[in-house]
Structure 1
Amino acid sequence: MANIIGSPSRYVQGKGELGNLCTHAERLGKAFFVLVSGSGKKRVEAQLTHSAQQAGAKLAYEIFNGECCQSEIDRVLAAFKASGCDVVVGIGGGKIHDTAKAVAHYADVPVVIVPTIASTDAPCSALSVIYTDEGVFDRYLFLPANPNLVLVDTDVVSAAPARLLVSGMGDALATYFEARACQASGATNCVGGKVTLAAMQLARLCYETLLADGLKAKLAVQRKACTKAVENIIEANTYLSGVGFESGGLAGAHAIHNGLTAIPETHSLYHGEKVAFGTLVQLVLENADLDELEQVMDFCLEVGLPITLEDLGIRDASEEQLMEVAKLACAENDTLHNMPFPVTPETVYAAILGADQLGRYYREV
């Protein structure tokens, strides 16, 4: 099997770039169907209108209903077909991105992804995570191509709440450890090949950037400041993690996240916050070196990522509830089986308890 790396056709990051969106995307089409939240539209409409006037482009808006589920994809697809547009643009967070990518795939048109937050690594990937209407993980939709353009306006992203940037760090935290596991097991990555040297280096650089700039970026964003550390973390959360996870592969951390969606209390948490705890569970499964565990724990404590079940809103969970999480994480088609050793619901259940207890210990010392 070949080594394969996937990435968006073009990645643009900089201050004020939202106002240049239509110019950057003019090679893709002239009529842009913009999927965005109601509040998001109010924040970006003036810049997009200016951009469309500059490029002589048409804009049509569709308000996102809040969940990347099949019914929402079908609804938005119908609206796109009725709009007369030729490009899908997803502006917002991960669920909007995944919905926009799925709609563009089914309509067979280009897609532009514009994150207004750096809370996940979804923007660059050829993947949509599909949930049920109730918000429980359903399946991965693997797409034939990455987005045609990813545009990140760092002024917009740095103005978002700091918790969202930290959530993106939680998602990015898993990138290196999952890629490492997939390389060790020889697992197939998300683009249908084996991990490349480039993908592993991107994944490693992602982790190193988090350790170097994560706290500085969080503190700066708390003051709505876009410093060099913020720029670096936005790139780590969005591009390094996006290309790194897709071309490196997914393993334990994201499967644990998927399992946690079975507990309603976790639905109020962001994707990356649950992935961060999933990373700790994966490291316990691997019986990772204590120094490495301490480094990850210290990072999570420093920036404010969950390290215990209680941090996830799970208090006094029953054995049956946590075993349900473990069973869902071990689903036949999920990525936990990319680990370089056999996994069972029983070993995952034990790792969840072990990670929770380690988190409690490190929170007290």
Structure 2
Amino acid sequence: MSQIIYSPSKYIQGSGEIMRLGVYCLQMGARGAYAIVDPYILSLYGQEISKGFASEQIPLLLREFKGECSLTQVDQIVEELGSGGADVIVGIGGGKTLDTAKAVSHFAGLPVMLVPTVASTDAPCSALSVLYSESGEFDRYLPLRRNPDIVVADVAIIAKAPVRLLAAGMGDALSTYYEARACSRSGAVTSTGGTSTLAALALARTCLDTLLADGAQALQDAADGRVTAAVEHIVEANIYLSGIGFESGGLAAAHAIHNGLTLLKECRTVLHGEKVAFTTLVQLILEGAAEAEISGAVDFCRGAGLPITLAQLGLADVAQDRLLYAAEASCSEGSPMANMPFAVTPQQVLAAILEANRRGAQVS
């Protein structure tokens, strides 16, 4: 089996990058750009974005992102592109905005530049879009032909986002090493089509080490509105290290259980990374990880304000049969649960969820 690692062609991180998007598109050979932009970002930075493209004489069409990252919306945008004029797709915003831009790029056969304005997920660097139904339920993973051509992270903008979003990105990134380790142990085929590499596992480990070393300070600095080395490190960990680590290292139980939980409407307002933080604890319990590792992950989540109980996920009163329903979905055919180094049953997942909740309740 081949060992394969994926990555974007170029990753750029710094302050003030929102003004240089036209420059980067020009370097891609763009004659016209179509930008899908988060509504809030459009209201704050629309003028700067437009000015950056105008200064490079690149025509720009701005489209406000609305609704879900669904196949329905992607198809609508691809149809709009049929009129021509744009040869580069630009996605500016959060995870679902960026996943939509990637999916549009895939179906339209055009290059894409992604500009994450929050560091709440590791989605920007991957050759993968997560599609949802119009009502917000997990639909499917959409494998893409290639990774983004350019990822541009403006740390000054990211640091101004609500601290909860930075913490959620840390929750998503927390799972990266543990899932990559499980895939390495099982020899699982990742979404790249091959097994993991030493480089992917090393990046995943560096991601975890960075979270533990700089996470608390970064949250404090971001809350104070300061761009510091700690903030820069966590942005890189959340977006790049975790992005390469999860895609080329592989997904396992944590994301499988997360996907199952999306079926429970009570926790749909909980952010992706917040759910993944809890399901990472569930995976560690499920695989019988060392006590120090489990307690360390619990302490990290508690310190970052990430969920460690079902109540904090909005599931305090949910019946066990509904938790079992989510557990069954996590073990369904095609789920990354199959990447665990041992067979997992829904009953084992349920037991691990309840044990993670019990442990979290003891210290929360």
TM-score (norm 2): 0.98
- The aligned residue for residue 322 of structure 1 is 323
Maintained 8 Å contact 1:66/1:95:
no
Map 1:1-365; keep pairs closer than 5 Å: 1-28=1-28, 29-82=30-83, 84-363=85-364
Maintained 8 Å contact 2:7/2:147:
yes
Maintained 8 Å contact 1:110/1:147:
yes
Distance, in Å, in 1 between the alignment partners of 2:76 and 2:11 is 29
**Superposed displacement of residue 354, structure 1:** 1.0
Distance, in Å, in 2 between the alignment partners of 1:65 and 1:17 is 24
Maintained 8 Å contact 2:218/2:231:
yes
The farther-off stretch of 33-42 and 240-249 is 33-42
Distance, in Å, in 1 between the alignment partners of 2:182 and 2:170 is 19
**Superposed displacement of residue 361, structure 1:** 1.6
**Superposed displacement of residue 95, structure 1:** 0.5
SS of the residue aligned with 2:27? Answer: coil
The farther-off stretch of 157-166 and 28-37 is 28-37
Distance, in Å, in 1 between the alignment partners of 2:66 and 2:284 is 36
Report Cα offsets for 1:257-285 as digits up to 9, x if no partner: 10110111111011100011110110011
**Superposed displacement of residue 37, structure 1:** 2.4
SS of the residue aligned with 1:123? Answer: helix
Distance, in Å, in 2 between the alignment partners of 1:83 and 1:237 is 35
**Superposed displacement of residue 80, structure 1:** 2.4
SS of the residue aligned with 2:334? Answer: coil
Unaligned 5+ runs, structure 1: none
SS of the residue aligned with 2:153? Answer: strand
SS of the residue aligned with 1:82? Answer: coil
Q: Which amino acid aligns with 1:303?
A: A
Maintained 8 Å contact 1:89/1:113:
yes
**Superposed displacement of residue 83, structure 1:** 5.2
The farther-off stretch of 25-34 and 208-217 is 25-34
Q: Which amino acid aligns with 2:45?
A: V
Maintained 8 Å contact 1:119/1:164:
yes
SS of the residue aligned with 1:139? Answer: strand
Maintained 8 Å contact 1:62/1:76:
no
The farther-off stretch of 71-80 and 292-301 is 71-80
Distance, in Å, in 2 between the alignment partners of 1:111 and 1:39 is 21
Maintained 8 Å contact 1:68/1:98:
yes
Maintained 8 Å contact 1:60/1:83:
no
Maintained 8 Å contact 2:179/2:251:
yes
The farther-off stretch of 27-36 and 12-21 is 27-36
Report Cα offsets for 1:100-155 as digits up to 9, x if no partner: 10010000000110001000000000000111111111110011100000001100
Distance, in Å, in 2 between the alignment partners of 1:82 and 1:265 is 41
**Superposed displacement of residue 88, structure 1:** 0.7
Maintained 8 Å contact 2:35/2:63:
yes
Q: Which amino acid aligns with 1:130?
A: L
**Superposed displacement of residue 81, structure 1:** 2.3
Q: Which amino acid aligns with 1:16?
A: G
Maintained 8 Å contact 2:67/2:134:
no
SS of the residue aligned with 1:311? Answer: helix
Maintained 8 Å contact 1:285/1:351:
yes
Q: Runs of 4+ in structure 1 displaced over 3 angstroms?
A: none
Report Cα offsets for 1:65-91 as digits up to 9, x if no partner: 121111111112122223521111110
**Superposed displacement of residue 191, structure 1:** 0.7
Q: Percent identity?
A: 50
Maintained 8 Å contact 1:119/1:169:
yes
SS of the residue aligned with 1:315? Answer: coil
The farther-off stretch of 172-181 and 317-326 is 317-326
**Superposed displacement of residue 195, structure 1:** 0.7
Maintained 8 Å contact 1:35/1:91:
yes
Maintained 8 Å contact 1:4/1:191:
yes
SS of the residue aligned with 1:189? Answer: coil
Q: Which amino acid aligns with 1:8?
A: P
Maintained 8 Å contact 1:181/1:251:
yes
**Superposed displacement of residue 20, structure 1:** 0.7
TM-score (norm 1): 0.98
